[in-house]
Structure 1
C-alpha cells in the first residue's frame, strides 16, 4: 500500500477532502472527548515521565492541561486538513521556555511531548477501528499525525536550544556583573556573601586576584581555560571572565599557565572582602611585568624592585644616563659591554658562569668589566654602584635593546 504525498508534509489535494470525510466519525469522537483525552495525557505523563510525577512538582496541572488541549486541537486540525504542519507553523515556543524554566531536561521534555501525542494517536486508531473505518484511511491519518509530532518536536528542540543559549548568556552577564562589582569594591557585605555562595566561592578562605593578558598567538579563551584548570585546589575553583581583552577573576591559589605565552599579574592571597585592593595589586603586577616584557605569572615577590623601578621613571632615566649612555660613544664595543654586564648579573656575578654563557674565556670577561669601570669611572666592588647599575640595566632591558643609550 502506498500513500501519495505532496512536498508539504501532506496528501495530494484531491485526497485531503476525501480523507477528512472517511475519517469523519473518528474526528467527531476526538472532538467530543477533548476533556477526557487531555486528562488522560496528563495522567500518562504523571505515571511514566519522572519530571511530571507529583512528588517532583515541576509541572503543575495548570501548566500541563493547556498543553494537552493544544495537542488535541492540532491533531484534529491535521486530520481535517490532510496536511501536517511544518516546524515553523507549530507554536510550541512557550512550552519549550516554560519546561526549561521548570527544570525539565531537554531529552525528557521531548520524550514527554511524544508520549502525550502517542496517547492521542492510539486513541484515534482505536476509535477508527470501532467505527470500521477502512485501514488505508487510518494509516494515512496515522502517518499525518507522525509527521505532525515530528514537526512539533523539531520546533521544541530548536526553541529549547535557543532559549538555553539566551539563559546561558544571561547567566554569564550576571556572573560577569558580580565579578566586576566585587573587584571594584561595589558590593556590600550581604550582597557579596549571597552572590559568592551562588558561584561556589568561600568567604572563609583567601583567594588570589588574577589579571592576565595573552601574548602572541595565545587566545583569551584558551588562557582562561588554562588558568581555571591550573588553579583548582581541593574542590575550590576559580571564577574568571574576559573583559576588554584580558582575563580577570579570582583563583584559590597561584595559577599555572604551563607553556602558554601570556603575562599574568596576581595579588597576594586575601579574603574576598579585600578583592578591590587585591585587584589593584594584580593590575599593578601586570603593568610592571608587561613593561619589562616578562612572560609568566607574577606577584610582588616575583617582581620585587621592578615594581619600584616602574614607579620611578625619572630615576630610571637618570641611572641609564649615568651608567649606560656613555657607552654609546664606543659603538659595537659599548653594546658588547652592556650584553656582558647583563649576563654577569644573570649569572650571579660569577665570572666563570658568565664566560661559559657567552662562550668566551673568563679573562675576556674580566677585561670587559675592567674596561667598563674605566669608562664610567666606578668600581664594581661598590654595593651602591652594583645596585644602581642593575637598576639601569633592568630599565634598559625593559625596552629589549642592546644598543647603548645615546648621550645628549
Structure 2
C-alpha cells in the first residue's frame, strides 16, 4: 500500500486520508473552476471593500488577481492535505507588506482577506452539496478552510503591526533629524519650508525655542506630553523631542507646566529660520535657572540680572567678599543680619511688611539695617549698593 504524504512532505494519517478521499470530487471540480473563483473574489472585493472600488483603486488587478489565485491554491492544498497548515507553513507576510504599501487601513485589509476566503469557502460548500458529499465531510472541510483563513489573518495582523512599528520608528527618526537640524545645524529655506509644513509648523509664525529638564519624579515622557498640551494655541502645533535627558523643540506660546516639576528655559519669539539662535538662548536660560535650583518656566525677563550673574562668577565672589564676609564675621548676629537682608529684599524693601514677616518691631528692623551699614561701611539708600548687595545675596544663596 503506497504511503500518502501531504503537500509539505508529511505523512497523512488515516483520518486525513479518509477525508481527502471523500472530498476528491470537490477538489477536482474546484480546480477546474479556478478562474471563475478568482474572478468572484475580485468582484466581491470591488463591490464591498472601499479600497478595491474603482474610485479608490488602491489595489489594482495586477495585485488583486494573483492574490485571489493564491487563496484558491491554498484552499486546494488544505483540502488535499486533510489538515490546515501549521504556523510555520503560513506565508502571508508579503500580502501584509504589499497592502500596507498600497495604503490599505489595517482593519480593511483583514476584512478583505477574510471576505475573499469566505468566497472560496462558500464555493467549496456549494460544489460539495451539488456533488452530494456527506455532510460530515463537508463540515470538516469547511472547518479546515476556516482554520486556514484564521492562520493567515493572524499572520497578516502580526506582520502589519511589525511593519507599522518599523514605519513609525523611521518617521520618528526623520522627525528627530529635522528637529536636530532645525535647532542646532540650521536648514536652508527650501528644506525648512517643506519639512516644517509636514510637521504642522508655519514659516510665517513666530515660535519659542524650548529646552526642559525634569525634576524630582517627573519622567521625560510626562514632561514632553505636558509641554505639548500646555502650548497648544488655536490649533498651532508644537514640535518636541527627547534628546540626552532633556525635552527640546519649538512651541507656539509660553508653556504651562500644570504642576509638573521641571526647569524649562525658553527663548523669545522668533521665526523658524532663527530657531538655532533661539535654542541657544533657551539653553542659556535653562542653565542659569538650574544654577539657582529654580523650578518653572524661565525666559530672559524672568531671570533678569541672574543671567549676568551666572556669566560673571568672579564678580559674584568679589561682591560676596565685599558685602557679606564682614557680616558673617559677626557670628550668630551676622547670620541674623543676612537673613534679615534677604527678607528685606523679598518684601520689596518695605519696613512694615518685612518686620511683620520676621515677627519683630519695625524699630528693631531699622536697627539691624543700620548695624549692617555700620559693619560694611555703606548706605542702603545708595542704588549702587542695593544692586551689588542683592547680587551678593543671590550668589551666596546659589553657592550655599
The TM-score, its normalising length taken from structure 1, stands at 0.92
1:249-260 aligned at under 5 Å gives the runs 249-260=249-260
Could you tell me how far apart the structure 2 residues matched to 1:356 and 1:103 are? 71
Could you tell me how far apart the structure 1 residues matched to 2:397 and 2:88 are? 64
Could you tell me how far apart the structure 2 residues matched to 1:161 and 1:351 are? 69
TM superposition shift of 1:102:
1.7
Of 321-330 and 210-219, deviating more is: 321-330
Q: Report SS of the residue matched to 2:26.
A: helix
Match of 2:309 in 1: 309
Residue pair 1:88, 1:155 contacting (<8 A) in 2 also: no
Residue pair 2:79, 2:141 contacting (<8 A) in 1 also: yes
Match of 1:146 in 2: 146
Question: For 1:281-329, what per-residue CA distance to the aligned partner results, in whole angstroms no more than 9, with x for missing partners?
Answer: 1111111111111111111111111111111111111111111122332
Could you tell me how far apart the structure 2 residues matched to 1:142 and 1:372 are? 98
TM superposition shift of 1:101:
2.0
TM superposition shift of 1:339:
1.7
Question: For 1:20-61, what per-residue CA distance to the aligned partner results, in whole angstroms no more than 9, with x for missing partners?
Answer: 111001111222222322222111101100111111121111
1:264-275 aligned at under 5 Å gives the runs 264-275=264-275
Match of 1:54 in 2: 54
Match of 1:90 in 2: 90
Match of 1:220 in 2: 220
Match of 2:163 in 1: 163
1:395 paired to 2:395: yes
1:131-142 aligned at under 5 Å gives the runs 131-142=131-142
Q: Report SS of the residue matched to 1:398.
A: helix
Structure 1 residues 358, 67: CA separation in 2 closer, same or farther (over 3 Å shift)?
A: farther
Match of 2:377 in 1: 377
1:161-240 aligned at under 5 Å gives the runs 161-240=161-240
Q: Report SS of the residue matched to 1:270.
A: coil
Match of 1:99 in 2: 99
Match of 1:282 in 2: 282
TM superposition shift of 1:88:
4.4
TM superposition shift of 1:225:
0.8
Structure 1 residues 98, 356: CA separation in 2 closer, same or farther (over 3 Å shift)?
A: farther
Could you tell me how far apart the structure 1 residues matched to 2:158 and 2:198 are? 29
Residue pair 1:128, 1:138 contacting (<8 A) in 2 also: yes
TM superposition shift of 1:13:
3.0
Gaps of 5+ in 1: 1-11, 402-408
TM superposition shift of 1:185:
3.5
CA RMSD of aligned residues (A): 1.5
The TM-score, its normalising length taken from structure 2, stands at 0.94
Number of equivalenced pairs? 390
Match of 2:109 in 1: 109
Q: Report SS of the residue matched to 1:249.
A: strand
Could you tell me how far apart the structure 2 residues matched to 1:316 and 1:92 are? 70
